[in-house]
Structure 1
Amino acid sequence: MIKTGLTLICIFLMGFLLSSYGQQASPKRYVLAIHGGAGTILKKNMSDSLERAYVAELTKSLREGYRVLQAGGTSVDAVTAAIQIMEDSPLFNAGKGAVFNHKGENEMDASIMDGKTLKAGAVAGVHTIRNPITAAKAVMEQSEHVMMVGAGAEEFADSKGIVLVDPSYFWTKPRWDALQRILQRDKEATALDHDDKQSNRKKYVDEKFGTVGCVALDQQGGLAAGTSTGGMTNKKYGRVGDAPIIGAGNYANDQVAISCTGWGEYYIRTVAAYDVAAMVAYTHVPLAKATQAVIDKIAELGGDGGMIALDKNGEVAMPFNTAGMYRGAITADGAVEVAIYKD
């Protein structure tokens, strides 16, 4: 009897130790991740107060999305809530902080996708929708379409009770000053060409891509991805980047959700977001390897930027090939992680 009792105790202890070891060794399970843009983001150019402001806004966005998930909300609702926080901040190139196009107007794009149903919605070239991500969600849930553009998208948003604002709401001095600097550089470059002088000045490209995005995993196992942007400073002719294009700047299915930020033309050409999902589905490579492979492909073509991705197991990946990317994630137990620079 004593021998049998000792054996049972040993078995119990071994099981407890193995269980404890398994808990300690198991990876973190993430439920939501965000990005706030990638580009030439260097600590030497960032004041302490501005860095704290970015960290605060990223943290606020993560916690708002997490609050929705904790209450049993869907990944779509969590993505929308998290992105709205960043759209309302002048720090990011989306919503309130949208950059100006060549005409001195704020022209915004957004998209969202539900991985459970493969439904998606997007708006492009809008000027008066306070939170473009809410309009994209309305297109997905309250219309038979996927994308609406310009005045038509604004008319639809108004009919669905989406908040519209006067275009002056989006005016911010830092974005306006950025446009003026670029216009001046273009003017100087044109003058040099006209005088037949050799110019070593490279064509100006945004130093920071402030597109915002979110990916989320809800308690029912549903994944969703969303992206919102003001586009590129000084863009012309109604240019639309990857952010509102499903498969390029945004994609979600029942396995993985991806949101991108960067030089949109390259993400469109590589169908970047879907490429990640396809690699995961067809070659079963780890998420980190799939996302890095796509970022490497973009770099080979001459593009730059980054992306965030989250899979059904709670694995997260956030690769980028720029000096920095505003990014963050939150685990199932509510632990917040925020980063800005490469190292």
Structure 2
Amino acid sequence: MRRRPLTWLIPVLATAAAVTVTAVVVPDGAGRDPDGRTAPAAHGERPAGKGRPDARDVVLAVHGGAGTALDRDKTTPEREKAYRDGLADAMKAGRKILDKGGSSVDAVQAAVQKLEDNPLFNAGKGAVFTADAGHELDASIMRGSDLRAGAVAGVKSLRNPIAGARAVMDKSPHVLLSGEGADDFGARNGLKTVTQDYYWTQARWDALMAAKEAARGGKGGKAGGDGKGGSDVSDGEKAAVDSPASVADAQSKGTVGAVAVDGDRDLAAATSTGGMTNKLPGRIGDSPLIGSGTYAKNSTVAASATGAGEVFIRGAATSTISNLMEFKGAGVATAAYEVIVERLPGLGGDGGVIALAPNGEFDAPHSSPGMLHGYLTKDGKIVTKIFPDETPPNS
């Protein structure tokens, strides 16, 4: 059945005008005084909460992971451009689908696949190393119209794990396949496969060496640095990321994800990750788990999370946002803020989420110091946020 063209989204312009990419310094939100400054909370109190979304009329959004974000003072113009372009290119890939009247599921898959192919991000090509110097990747996708979902975990040879997740959703009766079974299923369904060396990058290798040094009591960085939360940066890693071969920043090893709404007002969400640097082989985080790292329901929200995976699993992060909207009547900004900023840190971890309501209201709260993300509005504007002052924590 042919989908209704997304005429309300972005009319096909005769001039084929280029999309404008901008950076926004501070999002709107509650808890700000009349001059727009963040109102300070009393000592020991939780943040006051948030009632207004970061943006409206959003049709697609992506994230490149929560963590320490990029340091504006230490980030070269080349690195800044690479990250902004990476996020923008993913949104443009999704936009092409929506412009043609395509589905939100196709749009989020296209956006995430673009991020998986970019070594700047901890997914696909840029996946981090496990403790045994291998790569195990996870991904999931969900359709809001009928709650269909698919996921893969611990795959080692699929070039694009998100394509594997989509195949599980469309071509099997299951939701989650793992390990060799997931790899074989993808190959049987014609997905591109690679050998482990495809995922190798110098920056990720140096991060593994730093994590192992820290585990031995050295000074190379935090042991077991979270692939979604960042870690201390060794001198070797700084040299690697500053080399012409790679501008990947060790501080932003983030899970990737996308959310979208299409012309039929159907929501979809997708998430993909390489996991944690130096993780135990076999470890699975929240990214491939429906209701934790990914969730989409047409009546409430499409959400993709990034953060301390074990905490997001225990807190059922993305489905809780949906439940607050459905059963408590909370708006997307209020619900996402309550889960990410007020609830999950009490379980011992931080992170963030991109959350999109069917009416285009969008919010991206995070309790981590930063979160790389961006969004596309129905009039074609692309906004990217990569520095902490563009996306302050607990906002």
Task: Report the TM range for the smaller structure's normalisation.
Answer: 0.7 to 0.9
RMSD of aligned Cα (Å): 1.5
Name the counterpart of 1:226.
270
Secondary structure of 1:43 counterpart? coil
Name the counterpart of 1:34.
62
Name the counterpart of 1:6.
none
Name the counterpart of 1:260.
305
Cα distance between partner residues in 1 of 2:349 and 2:72: 23
Pick which of 290-299 and 39-48 moved more: 39-48
Cα distance between partner residues in 1 of 2:95 and 2:302: 16
Q: Is the 8 A contact 1:209 1:263 kept in 2?
A: no
Cα distance between partner residues in 2 of 1:122 and 1:301: 25
Spell out, residue by residue over 1:70-109, the C-alpha distance to the aligned partner (whole angstroms, 9 max, x if none). 1011000000000011000000000000000000001100
Secondary structure of 2:141 counterpart? strand
Residue 246 in structure 1 maps to residue 290 in structure 2 = yes
Name the counterpart of 1:286.
331
| Aligned amino acid, residue 165 of structure 2 | A
Q: Alignment partner for residue 217 of structure 1, among 252, 261, 276?
A: 261
Name the counterpart of 1:151.
180
Name the counterpart of 2:132.
103
Name the counterpart of 1:88.
117
Residue 337 in structure 1 maps to residue 383 in structure 2 = yes
Residue 321 in structure 1 maps to residue 350 in structure 2 = no
What's the TM-score, normalizing by structure 1?
A: 0.87
Please state how far the C-alpha of 1:45 moved relative to its aligned partner: 3.6
Q: Is the 8 A contact 1:323 1:341 kept in 2?
A: no
Cα gap change, 1:299 to 1:132, in 2 (>3 Å) = same
Name the counterpart of 1:173.
202
Q: Is the 8 A contact 1:209 1:305 kept in 2?
A: no
User: If you compute each CA radius of gyration, which structure gives the higher value, 1 or 2?
Assistant: 1
| Aligned amino acid, residue 324 of structure 2 | M
Cα distance between partner residues in 1 of 2:363 and 2:253: 19
Please state how far the C-alpha of 1:209 moved relative to its aligned partner: 4.7
Q: Is the 8 A contact 1:74 1:218 kept in 2?
A: yes
More helix by share: 1
Q: Is the 8 A contact 1:37 1:326 kept in 2?
A: yes
Secondary structure of 1:69 counterpart? helix
Question: Where does the alignment leave 5 or more consecutive residues of structure 2 unmatched?
Answer: 1-54, 231-251, 390-395
How many residue pairs end up in the alignment?
307
Question: Where does the alignment leave 5 or more consecutive residues of structure 1 unmatched?
Answer: 1-26, 190-198
Cα distance between partner residues in 1 of 2:222 and 2:308: 16
What's the TM-score, normalizing by structure 2?
A: 0.76
Please state how far the C-alpha of 1:67 moved relative to its aligned partner: 1.0
Cα distance between partner residues in 1 of 2:258 and 2:208: 27
| Aligned amino acid, residue 250 of structure 1 | T
Secondary structure of 1:341 counterpart? coil
Cα gap change, 1:251 to 1:57, in 2 (>3 Å) = same
Name the counterpart of 2:357.
311
Please state how far the C-alpha of 1:321 moved relative to its aligned partner: 1.3
Cα distance between partner residues in 1 of 2:223 and 2:186: 37
Name the counterpart of 2:164.
135
Q: Alignment partner for residue 123 of structure 1, among 143, 149, 152?
A: 152
Percent of aligned pairs sharing the same letter: 47
Name the counterpart of 2:317.
272
Name the counterpart of 2:4.
none
Spell out, residue by residue over 1:24-66, the C-alpha distance to the aligned partner (whole angstroms, 9 max, x if none). xxx7311001000110123234222111100011111111101
Q: Is the 8 A contact 2:224 2:276 kept in 1?
A: no
